[in-house]
């Protein structure tokens, strides 16, 4: 497998990125190491695992972390209710056998309905949870351990053990070794610092907000129905919001795409102040940020700034046309392969 092949496969799947993202993903596959992905919510961390599963036509096994997640929920659990029922049925059957035996005057011996302990701790009563499922999968799966920063430190230590050896011990069944090392993607929103041990086990990838050019490519790949000029305005407007306002949560790629789709749904030909004001709630996810936008910038200023870029863009386009369509001197930062196909997305980028 080559880096170029993987880049093209990602791009065909609608995941637009540059070498800064593609190289760590490729190396995680090549070195068979887990990939720890950090970044703001909505920049496309989870999507990497989904795209990998699609690219390799394999299963995506997801372990969503939360405070209080323990080994039972992540690895395996014995089906307690089923075991209890089996015991009850066995006991009843044994009682009936004993009663029949007493009537018939049969000799002492083990009742046929009695339950052996080994029977209760067999595959039949094992509930596989995501980690065990990933270890026992027939085909190398993609294991997504989402928001690992939300789990407890004890669970993180357990996870570190699993990811070190790719094997677990089930006391009643013995050691389970991975049939093949899964492709592991861990995501984190940096709610807390992860342990050095876990970080050391992984390759690291930080996904930042994309620049205007890359975000424009993402919009055009994911929302091809949006008019090109409007897509450019949207990309510039969102970049301006991120850099120009002191927000609690900056709009990420997921919000940009929601906004773009809303503009398509509203059949908007170009950004206008009243359109921005009406749809601002798609970009800001809390009241403070919405008020900060209305108070310090507002739709009018945003639209003016976004449209000011149009003139620059037009000048740039004219310059390029004048040079007989030669590519720009500096390669775009996202040049990871051919232009994306204009087709509706298979999945959303981000969560």
Q: Which residues bind other proteins (CB under 8 A)?
A: 1, 3, 5-6, 9, 12-13, 18-20, 22-24, 26-33, 36, 38, 54-58, 66-70, 72, 80-81, 84, 88, 140, 150, 152, 180-181, 190-193, 196, 199-200, 202-206, 246, 248-249
Based on its alpha-carbon atoms, the radius of gyration of the chain, rounded to whole angstroms, reads 28
Sign of the four-CA dihedral 209, 211, 216, 221: negative
Nearer to other proteins, 138 or 267 (CB): 138
Between CA 216 and CA 221 the distance in angstroms is 9
Torsion of CA 226, 232, 235, 237, to 10 degrees: -110
Across the strands, what pairs with 77? 127
Shortest CB 52 distance to other proteins, Å:
10
CB of 151 vs other proteins, minimal distance in Å: 10
Closer CB to other proteins, residue 203 or residue 230? 203
Report in angstroms how near the CB of residue 215 gets to other proteins at its nearest. Answer: 19
Comparison of 101 and 345: residue with beta carbon closer to other proteins: 345
CA distance 89 to 59: 37
Element (H, E) at 209: none
What is the smallest separation between the CB atom of 174 and other proteins, expressed in angstroms? Answer: 25
Closer by beta carbon to other proteins, 161 or else 274: 161
> Which residue lies nearer to other proteins by CB, 9 or 282?
9
CA distance 300 to 276: 8
- The rounded distance, in Å, linking the Cα atoms of 73 and 62 is 12
Bridge partners (DSSP) of residue 78 are 126
Q: Which of 35, 83, 64 is nearest to 150 (CA)?
A: 64
| SS3 of residue 172 by DSSP | coil
- Listing DSSP states for 105-135 in one string gives TPPP---TTPPPHHHHTSGGGEEE-HHHHHH
Q: Are the C-beta atoms of 151 and 69 separated by less than 8 Å?
A: yes
Closest separation between CB of residue 314 and other proteins, Å? 29
Which of residues 26 and 293 has its CB atom nearest to other proteins in the complex? 26
Nearest distance in Å: CB 181, other proteins: 8
Cβ at position 70, least distance to other proteins in Å: 6
Nearer to other proteins, 318 or 331 (CB): 331
Q: How many CB atoms lie within 10 A of CB 255?
A: 20
> Shortest Cβ distance from residue 237 to other proteins (Å)?
22
Smaller CB separation from other proteins, 32 or 274: 32
Give the C-alpha separation, 106 to 147, whole Å.
62
């Amino acid at each position: 497998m080559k880096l170029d092949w993987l880049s093209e496969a990602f791009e065909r799947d609608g995941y637009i990125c540059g070498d800064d993202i593609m190289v760590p993903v490729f190396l995680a596959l090549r070195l068979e190491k887990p990939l720890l992905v950090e970044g703001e919510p909505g920049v496309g961390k989870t999507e990497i695992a989904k795209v990998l599963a699609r690219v390799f036509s394999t299963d995506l096994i997801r372990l969503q972390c939360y405070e209080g997640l323990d080994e039972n929920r992540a690895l395996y659990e014995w089906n307690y209710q089923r075991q209890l029922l089996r015991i009850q049925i066995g006991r009843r059957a044994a009682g009936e056998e004993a009663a029949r035996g007493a009537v018939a005057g049969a000799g002492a011996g083990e009742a046929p309905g009695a339950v052996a302990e080994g029977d209760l701790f067999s595959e039949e009563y094992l509930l596989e949870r995501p980690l065990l499922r990933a270890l026992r999968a027939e085909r190398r799966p993609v294991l997504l351990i989402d928001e690992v920063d939300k789990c407890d430190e004890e669970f993180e230590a357990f996870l570190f053990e699993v990811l070190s050896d790719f094997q677990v011990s089930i006391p009643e069944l013995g050691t389970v070794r991975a049939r093949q090392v899964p492709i592991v993607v861990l995501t984190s929103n940096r709610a807390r610092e992860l342990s050095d041990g876990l970080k050391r086990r992984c390759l690291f990838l930080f996904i930042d907000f994309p620049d205007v050019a890359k975000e424009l490519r993402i919009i055009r790949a994911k929302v091809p129905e949006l008019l090109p000029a409007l897509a450019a305005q949207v990309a510039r407007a969102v970049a301006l919001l991120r850099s120009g306002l002191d927000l609690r949560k900056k709009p990420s790629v997921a919000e940009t795409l929601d906004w773009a789709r809303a503009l398509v749904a509203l059949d908007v030909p170009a950004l206008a102040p009243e359109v921005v004001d009406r749809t601002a709630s798609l970009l800001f996810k809390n009241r403070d940020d919405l008020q900060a936008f209305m108070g310090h910038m507002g739709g009018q200023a945003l639209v003016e700034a976004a449209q000011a870029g149009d003139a620059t863009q037009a000048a740039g386009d004219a310059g390029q046309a004048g040079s007989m369509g030669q590519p720009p001197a500096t390669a775009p930062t996202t040049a990871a392969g051919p232009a994306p196909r204009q087709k509706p997305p298979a999945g959303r980028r981000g969560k």
